[in-house]
Structure 1
Amino acid sequence: MSPEPDLVTGDAVALELRLARLASRGLAFAIDAVIQLVILVVGLIVVVAAGPDDGAARAAILLTLLVLVRVGYPVLFETLSRGRTPGKSAFGLRVVRDDGGPIRFRHALARGLAAAIVDFGPVFVWGAVAVVCSLVSEKSKRVGDFLAGTVVVLERAPAEVTPNIVMPPPLVSWAAQLDLSGLTDDLALALRQFLARYQSLRPEARDSLGANLAQEVAARIGAPVPPGVPVWAYLMAVLAERRNRTWPGAS
C-alpha cells in the first residue's frame, strides 16, 4: 500500500504523487511571507514619502496595496508558473488540481482569496485555520485547496530515477519533422517523470496518465500518436528529439 494518499483523476484512476506536508508548506509560506512583507514595507515608505497628503487617500492606497500583495502575489505566481511561488520553488513544491493536472487562474484566485480571508487572515496572524485544516485533512489541504479543488505536491524527483531517454529507431524520421516550440519545460519534466516511473505505476494509472500526457503533447506540437506506436514510445521520441535539438550530440 502506498504511504501517501493517492490522487484520483477524472477517470477515477489513482496517481501516486507525493503530497507536500505541513512542515515543507510552512517553510515555503515563510519565504513568501517575507517577500510580501518586504514589498509592503517598500510600498509603505513610498506612499509616506511621495503619496498624497490627504489621510483618507493615503489609507485607500495602502489598503489597495495590501490586497494586491496578499492576493495578487500568490495568484500571479501560481498562474504564470502553473502552481509555484518563490517559496514553493525553493522547496520543490507545486500546486496541482485534484486530478494531478496543472492549475489555472481560477484555481489560483480561489486559493489566494481563501488564504487572505480564511486560512491566514489579512495580517499573517490567523494561520491557525490553515494549520488545523491541514492536520485533519488526509491530503494536507487548507481551506483554499478545498475550495479550488487542489493539492500541493512534492515534485522534486530524486536523481536516481532520471530515465534514459533513447530515440526509438522507427520514429527517427517522424520526430525530425516535429515542431517542438510549443513543448514547455514543465510539460517535458512531466514526461520525464512519467517515463522514469513507468514500470512502477499501476497499469491502469500508467495507461490513463500516459494517454492524458500524449493528448497534451499532441495539442502542443500538432502531431498525434502515430498509428500502431505505443504511447511510451511516442513520448520518448518527443523527449529525445527535444534533447537532440537542445544539446546536439548528447544522444
Structure 2
Amino acid sequence: MRFFNRVSLSTPESIELEFTLAGIGNRTLALAIDYQILGLLLVGFWAIWSVFSLGLMSYLSQANFSYASAPLWLLAIALLISFFLFTGYFAFFEVIWQGQTPGKRMTKIRVIRDDGRPIGLAQAAMRALLRPLDDLFFIGVFFILLGKQEKRLGDWAAGTLVVQEQRGDRKATLTISDPAKQLAIDLPKLADLNQLLPDDFAVVRAYLQRRRTMETQAKNDLSMNLARQLRTVIALETIPPNTTPDQFLEAVYEAYQQMAGRGFSDRG
C-alpha cells in the first residue's frame, strides 16, 4: 500500500506541478465523514417526507379521492429526491469549495483535474454519478489500490485526481519585488485584466511558489513563455522596458489580487 505516492502534472502552459496523492486512508476517512453528514440529511428528509405522505394520504381519504397508486408515486418521488441529494451533496460541495467536501476539507485533501487545474461542475457531477458504482462491492477501493494514480472509476471518467491539500497557497509565502508592485499599480491602465481567468491566476501563483526549486534554465524558459502568453491574454501591447519576466508575472499576480480584494468592481 502506498501512503505517499506523488505525481507530476504538466499544465497547458508547460509548467510542471508536483502533488502528493491523498491515499486510501485519507480518502476513506473523508468518505466516512461525508456519509455521516449525508446520512443525517437523508434521515431528516425521509422523516419530513413520511409526515408529508401521511398527511397527504389522510387528506385524500377524507376527500374521497382514489389514491390506490399514491403510495407508489410517493415512494418513487422520495427515492428520486434521495438520489439527487446523494449525488448533489458531493457535486455541490466540490464545485463551491474547489474540489472539497466537508469530509475532504477535514482530512485536508482535494480533487483536481489531471492537469492540476480546479475541477468544474462537469467533473464534480461525473464523479458523483459514478460513486454508487464505485461503492458497489468496493470496486473503487480496488481501483485506488491497484492504480498508479490511485483513481477510482469516477476519477477516470472525469479526468481527476485526489491529492493532499497544498499548504503553500498563501500570498504571504510569495515575495513580490518593488518594481513589480509599482507595475501592478499601472497594469489596470495598460491592459485588460478582466480577461485574466482564475485558472490563469492559479498557474501564475503556482509558478511563483515553485520557481525557487527549478533549475535556472528551466525557470527562465518557463517564465518567458508564461509572460508572453499572459501578455496576449490581457491585451498588453508590450512589457515595460527593463522589466524581467518574473517581475511581470509578480505584477500580474499582485494586480489580480488587488482586483479580487475590490470584488472585481471594475468589471463591465
User: Same fold judged by TM-score > 0.5?
Assistant: yes
What is the percentage of aligned positions where both structures have the same residue?
27
Specify the SS of the correspondent of 1:151.
strand
Tell me what 1:48 maps to.
50
State the one-letter code of the partner of 1:92. K
Match of 1:163 among 157, 170, 173: 173
Aligned to 2:207: 194
Give the match for residue 144 of structure 1.
Answer: 154
Which of the two has higher C-alpha Rg?
2
Gaps of 5+ in 2: 58-69, 262-268
Query: Within 5 A, what are the aligned runs for 1:1-251?
Result: 4-9=6-11, 14-51=16-53, 52-53=56-57, 54-116=70-132, 118-121=133-136, 126=137, 128-157=138-167, 163-169=173-179, 172-178=182-188, 191-201=204-214, 222=234, 224=236, 226-227=238-239, 229-241=243-255
Residue type of the alignment partner of 1:154: Q
Gaps of 5+ in 1: 247-251
Identify which range, 103-112 or 204-213, moves more after superposition: 204-213
Provide, for residues 140-185 of structure 1, a one-character-per-residue CA deviation record: whole Å limited to 9, x for no partner: 1111001111101112316999524324416514534538788898
Q: Is the 1:165–1:239 Cα contact (8 Å) retained in structure 2? A: no
Q: Which amino acid aligns with 2:25?
A: A
Point out the structure with the larger helix share: 2
SS of residue matched to 2:148:
coil
TM-score (norm 1): 0.75
CA 1:152–1:211: 2 relative to 1, 3 Å: farther
CA distance in structure 1 between the partners assigned to 2:168 and 2:14 by the alignment: 27
Name the TM-score, length of structure 2 as normaliser: 0.71
Paired residues in the alignment total 238
Distance 1:70 1:209 in 2: 44
The alignment yields a C-alpha RMSD, in angstroms, of 3.8
1:8-41 deviations in Å (ceiling 9; x for gaps): 4457764312221111111111121111111100
Taking the aligned partners of 1:66 and 1:187, their CA distance within structure 2 comes to 37
Counterpart contact for 1:13–1:205, Cα < 8 Å: no
Of 153-162 and 79-88, more deviation after overlay is shown by: 153-162
The answer to whether the 8 Å contact 1:167/1:241 transfers is no
